[in-house]
């Protein structure tokens, strides 16, 4: 047997013995060591869906996650000027110590003085990040990363998108996405184009073994302009009452396009987007129910942003962002009602977590508090 054939035989035995899926095996054979693969799986195959915990636990330990945008201040600060955790490696250590099992990236950049340098948006950078994740018992579950803006795609955009998919595989992700809505337009024709584009991207991602997802802000759950008299540019001025992202769900391919509901922004939409002008010119009221969107499409929502809000009707959004479990959004009812228990990945997010110079440790303190509240949430 040649050395090459022997390598193939050993690799096959490794994959069978560890129960590695294709993404985990690819990571092990593209620079992450077999030892890291063992650390990832604990010597056995990772189940496709973790079972819900005992005693009504709504977010089982393997599903407790955080998007790194929440602690972006820690990742981006200069380690030479502070004793606080700085850069990806040290922040991973803190998140692992707190108890998180999963993270979602918000890009791959950190302070230039942090270990690994400023830009880790490369294949080699992904290998470095994967090692640090494994060292701290963390799994990457997604990324708010690059989605081509052009349609049809330029070759440069397509090449960069495929590089991000390669990085996602090295990092062991099941999902890759963006922090933006599919389009910011209110018009049906633009959402039709967005669905065509996302179906094409989703097919490329599927061929790489990755589920592609899009994120929402409140405006994505405002009403689609799809009917009524046309304006001077020939665009509709009234609505049939369907919301933009609900329409996108009906016209995008469920096998190719997935969604990450930001629950905070969905409840802001409930507060802000309550009326529309019907085709006959009348004003109609329709109160948005985030759970009613997810429940019949539950497997299209593999990730959530578990972002909490304190009710404040005096503000434009109706809520102020607060650490998870300290607000008024009823997460127990929401997570109880989505179905497919144990198959969703809630990622704690708080845009306002960084405390600036007044309290530079705040974002990681809030991450600790939010983890404790995630763990305490019961059905």
34 band by pLDDT with thresholds 50, 70 and 90: very low
**Contact status, residue 143 vs residue 177, Cβ threshold 8 Å:** yes
Q: What is the DSSP string of 22-53?
A: HHHHHHHHTTS-HHHHHHHHTTSPPPSSPPPP
172 or 56, higher pLDDT: 172
- Pair (257, 345) in one structural domain: yes
- Pair (37, 95) in one structural domain: no
The pLDDT value recorded for residue 22 is: 38
Rg (CA), the chain: 22
The pLDDT value recorded for residue 294 is: 97
364 band by pLDDT with thresholds 50, 70 and 90: very high
Kindly tell me if the per-residue pLDDT of 20 is higher than 50.
Answer: no
- Give Cβ neighbours of residue 147 (< 8 Å, ≥ 6 apart): 161, 177, 178, 180, 201
Residue-averaged pLDDT of the chain:
89
The pLDDT value recorded for residue 54 is: 60
Per the listing, tokens 């963006």 go with 178
Residues facing residue 254 across a β-bridge? none
**Residue 38 and residue 45: Cα distance in Å, rounded?**
10
112 band by pLDDT with thresholds 50, 70 and 90: very high
The pLDDT value recorded for residue 276 is: 98
- Pair (96, 63) in one structural domain: yes
**Contact status, residue 305 vs residue 260, Cβ threshold 8 Å:** yes
Number of C-alpha atoms within 13 angstroms, CB side, residue 168? 28
Residues facing residue 262 across a β-bridge? 305
The pLDDT value recorded for residue 209 is: 98
- Pair (158, 70) in one structural domain: yes
Residue 237, number of CB atoms within 10 A of its CB: 14
Nearest to 64 by CA among 75, 48, 53: 53
Residue 120, number of CB atoms within 10 A of its CB: 21
Kindly tell me if the per-residue pLDDT of 195 is higher than 90.
Answer: yes
For the residues 320-329, what does the mean pLDDT come to? 98
User: What CA–CA distances, in Å, run from 247 to 149, 187, 194, 219?
Assistant: 21, 11, 11, 13
Buried/exposed code over 354-375 (b: 16+ C-beta within 10 A; e: otherwise): beeeeebebbbebbbbbbebbb
- Pair (18, 106) in one structural domain: no
- Pair (16, 154) in one structural domain: no
Each residue's pLDDT tens digit, 226-258: 999 999 999 999 999 999 999 999 999 999 999
- Pair (275, 314) in one structural domain: yes
The pLDDT value recorded for residue 6 is: 41
53 band by pLDDT with thresholds 50, 70 and 90: low
The pLDDT value recorded for residue 265 is: 98
- Pair (35, 67) in one structural domain: no
The pLDDT value recorded for residue 9 is: 41
- Pair (37, 61) in one structural domain: no
Q: Token digits for 221?
A: 């759950």
- Pair (34, 76) in one structural domain: no
- Pair (156, 277) in one structural domain: yes
192 band by pLDDT with thresholds 50, 70 and 90: very high
Is the full-model pTM beyond 0.75? yes
**Listed range (18-22, 81-85, 228-232, 245-249) with the worst mean pLDDT:** 18-22
The pLDDT value recorded for residue 25 is: 41
The fraction of the chain above a pLDDT of 90, given in percent, is 83
222 band by pLDDT with thresholds 50, 70 and 90: very high
The pLDDT value recorded for residue 379 is: 80
Each residue's pLDDT tens digit, 259-284: 999 999 999 999 999 999 999 999 99
For the residues 24-36, what does the mean pLDDT come to? 38
**Listed range (29-33, 51-55, 162-166, 271-275) with the worst mean pLDDT:** 29-33
Total of domains in the chain: 2
Q: What is the CATH number of the domain that holds 307?
A: 3.20.20.150
Each residue's pLDDT tens digit, 173-184: 999 999 999 999
What ranges in the chain are assigned the alpha helix state H?
Answer: 3-18, 22-29, 34-41, 72-76, 87-98, 123-135, 155-171, 188-207, 244-251, 263-272, 290-294, 331-337, 362-376
- Pair (8, 128) in one structural domain: no
Nearest to 273 by CA among 264, 261, 263, 286: 286
Nearest to 327 by CA among 316, 319, 315, 335: 319
- φ and ψ at residue 88, rounded to 5 degrees: -60, -50
19 band by pLDDT with thresholds 50, 70 and 90: very low
258 SS3 class? strand
**Residue 259 and residue 301: Cα distance in Å, rounded?**
5
Q: Determine the structural domain holding residue 31 and report its residue range.
A: 1-46
């Amino acid at each position: 047997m040649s050395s090459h054939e022997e390598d193939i035989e050993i690799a096959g035995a490794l994959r069978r013995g560890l129960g590695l899926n294709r993404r985990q095996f690819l990571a092990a054979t593209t620079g992450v060591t077999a030892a890291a693969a063992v650390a990832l799986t604990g010597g056995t195959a990772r189940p496709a869906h973790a079972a819900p915990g005992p005693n009504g636990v709504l977010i089982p330990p393997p599903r407790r996650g955080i998007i790194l945008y929440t602690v972006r201040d820690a990742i981006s600060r200069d380690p030479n000027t502070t004793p606080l955790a700085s850069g990806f490696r040290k922040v991973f250590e803190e998140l692992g110590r707190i108890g998180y099992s999963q993270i979602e990236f918000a890009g791959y950049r950190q302070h230039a003085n942090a270990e690994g340098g400023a830009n880790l948006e490369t294949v080699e950078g992904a290998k470095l990040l994967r090692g640090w994740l494994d060292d701290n018992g963390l799994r990457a579950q997604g990324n708010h990363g690059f989605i081509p803006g052009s349609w049809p795609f330029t070759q440069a955009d397509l090449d960069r998108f495929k590089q991000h998919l390669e990085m996602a595989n090295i990092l062991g992700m099941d999902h890759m996405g963006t922090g933006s809505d599919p389009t910011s337009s209110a018009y049906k024709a633009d959402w039709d184009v967005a669905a065509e584009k996302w179906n094409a991207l989703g097919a490329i991602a599927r061929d790489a073994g990755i589920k592609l997802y899009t994120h929402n802000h409140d405006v994505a759950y405002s009403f689609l302009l799809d009917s009524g008299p046309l304006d001077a540019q020939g665009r509709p001025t009234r609505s049939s009452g369907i919301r933009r992202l609900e329409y996108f769900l009906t016209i995008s391919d469920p096998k190719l396009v997935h969604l990450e509901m930001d629950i905070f922004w969905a409840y802001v939409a409930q507060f802000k987007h309550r009326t529309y002008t019907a085709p006959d010119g009348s004003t109609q009221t329709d109160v948005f129910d985030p759970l009613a969107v997810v429940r019949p499409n539950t497997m299209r929502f593999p990730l959530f942003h578990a972002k909490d809000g304190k009710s404040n009707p005096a503000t434009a959004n109706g809520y102020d962002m607060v650490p998870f479990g300290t607000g008024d959004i009823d997460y127990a009812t929401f997570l109880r009602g989505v179905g497919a228990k144990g198959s969703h990945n809630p990622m704690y997010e708080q845009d306002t977590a960084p405390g600036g110079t007044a309290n530079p440790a705040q974002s990681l303190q809030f991450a600790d508090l939010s983890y404790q509240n995630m763990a305490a949430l019961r059905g």
